[in-house]
């Protein structure tokens, strides 16, 4: 794997390899010293053109846990504010010879463009409404830990699919892992032609009971101004996942940040079925695994500790 630009580029086996690697980093995370020397002396650049809390912080921490040097660039306050083009910004940052560039951009295809310009491995941390592959990988990781396998599981994605890169990447990833997908939301927020991606489409939560997993999406508050929905109240009446709609054996997920009381009720968020906090924890190890797969998997040396499958890299401070 040279870059991680989309979930679409990954086979089921490649997804599983990343998840297996993430399992090994989860083990590292339980040690006192949570850092491994894998990327020592190498540079990771995070380039965020949109605000982000969990994606940027978990990629940054992932790079640090792997001992990489980290340069974090946020568009606000940088030369992007002064009108520098993406191409020129990437050329500038490439002068530091980074091993990886992690990019979040408001437009589809930005990561792919950067991959064409830079020598570094490029990670798409969200491009417009197109894809968010690391989110999909951490969601599959979270579910796999809880359910063992996604094969034959019914997953409902509920909410504003039109504006959601998470929905698109997860549709592909969940289906690749064998799950059956249903997408539910108001008609104006479901893109025309979505069925051709292989999912069911419905505009009612009536059959939500069949779902093993309910994946709710954030509803931006400004969507009413554009008449996608008449009001948040009416949206909540039809599409909010609350304790009445969420059954005891169903799992609840959300990519965050949540609009408490809009797409999810407070009780649903805080319910034992909710995996929302686990998703965040998974984000760190999955992003470590992504950086590892891109930058270190090729030059991996077998260690004495190596067992079957993925190896846990030797922690700093322990004999190699």
Partner 1 sequence: MEMRSGESADLVLRGVTVLDPAAGLDGRHDVVVRAGRVTELPAPGAADAAGLEEIDAEGLHAFPAFFDPHVHLRTPGQEHKEDVETGARSAAAGGYCGVLAMANTEPPVSEPADVETLLADARAAAAVRVGFLATVTRAMAGEELTEMASLLEAGAAGFSDDGLPIRSARVLRRALQYQRLCGGTIALHEEDPELSGDGVMHEGPVSAALGLAGIPSISESTTIARDAAIAGYEGGRIHVQHLSAVESVEAVRAAKAAGVQITCEVSPHHLCLTDEAVRGLDPHRFKMNPPLRSEADRQALIEGLLDGTVDCIATDHAPHATEEKEVPFEEAAMGVTGLETAFAALHTHLVLPGTIGLGLLVEKLGSGAEPFGVERSSLAPGSEANIALCDLAARWTVGEEGYESRSSNSWCDGEELTGRVLMTLAGGQVAYRLRSFSLGVAA
Cα-only R_g, the chain: 20
**Could you give the dihedral angle defined by the CA atoms of residues 192, 197, 202 and 203, in that order, rounded to the nearest 10 degrees?**
-40
| Residue from 81, 196, 222, 299 binding partner 1 (CB under 8 A) | 196
Among 131, 139, 160, 293, binds partner 1 (CB under 8 A): 131
Q: How far is the CB of 168 from partner 1 (least distance, A)?
A: 5
For 30, other C-beta atoms within 10 Å of its C-beta total 7
- Residue closer to partner 1, measured from CB, 166 or 295: 166
The answer to whether residues 143 and 251 touch, using CB atoms and an 8 Å cutoff, is yes
Bridge partners of residue 213, in order along the sequence: 155, 251
Alpha helices (H) in the chain, listed in sequence order: 12-29, 54-65, 86-94, 110-117, 133-147, 165-176, 232-239, 266-270, 276-295
Nearer to partner 1, 10 or 26 (CB): 10
In the complex, least distance from residue 126 CB atom to partner 1, rounded to whole angstroms: 10
Among 4, 39, 62, 110, binds partner 1 (CB under 8 A): 110
* Alpha-carbon span 252 to 220, nearest angstrom: 19
Residues 137-166 close enough to bind partner 1 by CB under 8 A: 164-165
User: Pick from 37, 191, 256, 315: which binds partner 1 (CB under 8 A)?
Assistant: 191
Question: What's the min distance (Å) between Cβ of 87 and partner 1?
Answer: 6
112 binds partner 1 (CB under 8 A): yes
User: Running DSSP on this structure, what letter comes out for residue 315?
Assistant: P
Query: Dihedral, CA atoms, 285, 288, 292, 295, nearest 10 degrees?
Result: 160
Q: How big is the site for partner 1, counted in residues (CB under 8 A)?
A: 24
Chain-centre distance of CA 282, in angstroms? 10
CB of 151 to partner 1, least distance (A): 24
130 touching partner 1, by CB under 8 A: yes
- In angstroms, the Cα distances linking 189 to 18, 93, 185, 256 are 32, 37, 6, 18
Closest approach of partner 1 to the CB of residue 160, in Å: 12
What minimum distance in Å lies between the beta carbon of 138 and partner 1? Answer: 19
Q: Does 128 bind partner 1 (CB under 8 A)?
A: yes
For residue 131, the minimal CB distance to partner 1 (Å) is: 7
Rounded to the nearest 5°, which phi and psi values hold at 131?
A: -140, 155
- Residue 89 or 265: the one with the smaller Cβ distance to partner 1 is 89
Cα separation of 142 and 89, whole Å? 35
Of 54-93, binders to partner 1 (CB under 8 A) are 85-87
Using CB under 8 A as the binding rule, whether residue 168 contacts partner 1 is answered as yes
Question: Would you mind telling me the total number of residues written for the chain in this entry?
Answer: 320
| Between 107 and 233, CB nearer to partner 1 | 107
Least CB distance from residue 158 to partner 1, whole Å?
A: 17
Q: What is the contact surface with partner 1 in residues (CB under 8 A)?
A: 85-87, 105, 107-110, 112-113, 127-131, 164-165, 168, 191-194, 196-197
């Amino acid at each position: 794997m040279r870059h991680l630009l989309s979930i679409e580029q990954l086979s089921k086996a490649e997804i599983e390899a990343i998840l297996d690697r993430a399992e090994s980093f989860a083990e590292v995370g339980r040690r006192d010293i949570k850092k491994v020397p894998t990327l020592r002396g190498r540079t990771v650049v995070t380039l965020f053109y949109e605000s982000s809390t969990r994606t940027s912080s978990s990629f940054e921490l992932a790079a640090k846990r792997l001992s990489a040097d980290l340069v974090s660039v946020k568009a606000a306050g940088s030369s992007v504010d002064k009108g520098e083009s993406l191409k020129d910004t990437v050329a500038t940052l490439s002068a530091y010879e980074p091993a990886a560039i992690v990019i979040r951009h408001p437009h589809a295809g930005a990561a792919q463009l950067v991959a064409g310009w830079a020598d570094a491995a490029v990670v798409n941390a969200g491009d417009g409404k197109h894809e968010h592959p690391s989110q999909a990988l951490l969601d599959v990781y979270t579910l796999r830990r809880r359910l063992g396998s996604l094969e034959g599981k019914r997953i409902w994605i509920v909410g504003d699919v039109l504006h959601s890169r998470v929905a698109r990447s997860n549709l592909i990833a969940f289906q690749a892992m064998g799950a059956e997908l249903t997408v539910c939301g108001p008609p104006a927020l479901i893109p025309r032609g979505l069925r051709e991606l292989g999912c069911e489409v419905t505009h009612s939560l009536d059959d939500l009971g069949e779902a093993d997993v309910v994946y709710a999406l954030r509803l931006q508050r400004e969507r009413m101004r554009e008449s996608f929905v008449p009001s948040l109240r009416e949206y909540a009446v039809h599409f909010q996942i609350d304790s009445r709609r969420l059954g005891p054996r169903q799992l609840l997920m959300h990519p965050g940040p949540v609009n408490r009381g809009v797409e999810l009720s407070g009780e649903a968020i805080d319910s034992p079925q909710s995996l929302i906090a686990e998703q965040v924890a998974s984000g760190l190890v999955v992003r470590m695994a992504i950086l590892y797969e891109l930058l270190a998997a090729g030059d991996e040396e077998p260690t004495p500790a190596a067992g079957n499958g993925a190896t846990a890299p030797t922690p700093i401070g322990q004999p190699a």
